[in-house]
């Protein structure tokens, strides 16, 4: 199983352009082959892979903290227990702040040009905050691009292509509705 390439959710949106011409847009959820940009696919709503961006710097800092924690644990020195606990708390706080900063980059349009942040979209949900990866699914990417380009969405389809990760839920070549956990609060605004 190691090194196995896992499948991906793809989406297609049929649109009507301003002049009335029918067309389509394509998107993939998350990253594809470790990248956010591929010819023929709409761009991400937020590109966290931009060199020099806050996300790369924040992840590097987390990596350094993880390495220091690992070294302290391996040392077997019990006198550093308090320092270790403090570093773990610092790492947790840094991780949470970084996640919030990521969420703050996502703003979704509806057909009227009204924008709503990812944080706003999830504030009235049971969790009260977005799950990790929210905003990276194909449907929000497609609608965002369509609205930015003043296109009218007509029909949406999402399908799984490739091997299923860990479970049998996703089947190669099958169509699925947008997920409730990550997409429903976003699409509620986008499709209003």
Distance CA 30, CA 121 (A): 19
Residue 143's pLDDT is 98
Residue 5's pLDDT is 64
The predicted-structure confidence for 100-155, as pLDDT tens digits, reads as follows 999 999 999 999 999 999 999 999 998 899 998 899 999 999 999 999 999 999 99
Residue 4's pLDDT is 55
Q: Where are the alpha helices (DSSP H) in the chain?
A: 54-75, 81-103, 118-122, 138-148, 180-190
Burial class of 29 by CB neighbour count within 10 A (0 to 12, 13 to 18, 19+): buried
Distance CA 192, CA 190 (A): 6
Place of tokens 């020195």: 77
Ranking 3-17, 28-42, 112-126 by mean pLDDT, the lowest is 3-17
Residue 10's pLDDT is 97
Residue 110's pLDDT is 95
For the chain, give percent helix, strand, coil, nearest 5. Answer: 40, 20, 40
Place of tokens 């860990």: 166
pLDDT at 183 over 50: yes
pLDDT at 27 over 60: yes
55-84 mean pLDDT: 89
Residue 39: pLDDT band (50, 70, 90) is very high
Residue 1's pLDDT is 42
Residue 137's pLDDT is 95
Residue 56's pLDDT is 81
Mean per-residue pLDDT over the chain, rounded = 91
Three-state DSSP at 8 gives strand
């Amino acid at each position: 199983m190691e090194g196995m390439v896992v499948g991906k959710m793809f989406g297609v949106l049929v649109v009507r352009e301003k002049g009335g011409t029918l067309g389509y847009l394509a998107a993939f959820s998350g990253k594809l082959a470790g990248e956010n940009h591929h010819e023929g696919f709409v761009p991400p709503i937020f590109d966290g892979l931009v060199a020099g961006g806050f996300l790369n710097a924040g992840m590097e800092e987390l990596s350094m903290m993880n390495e220091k924690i690992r070294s302290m644990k391996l040392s077997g020195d019990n006198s550093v227990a308090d320092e270790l606990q403090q570093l773990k708390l610092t790492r947790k706080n840094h991780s949470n702040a970084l996640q919030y900063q990521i969420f703050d980059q996502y703003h979704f349009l509806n057909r009227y040009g009204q924008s709503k942040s990812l944080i706003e979209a999830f504030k009235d949900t049971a969790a009260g905050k977005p799950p990790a990866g929210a905003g990276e699914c194909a449907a929000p990417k497609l609608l965002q691009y369509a609205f930015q380009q003043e296109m009218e969405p007509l029909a949406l389809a999402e399908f799984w292509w490739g091997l299923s990760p860990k479970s049998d839920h996703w089947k190669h070549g099958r169509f699925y509705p947008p997920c409730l956990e990550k997409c429903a609060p976003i699409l509620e605004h986008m499709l209003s």
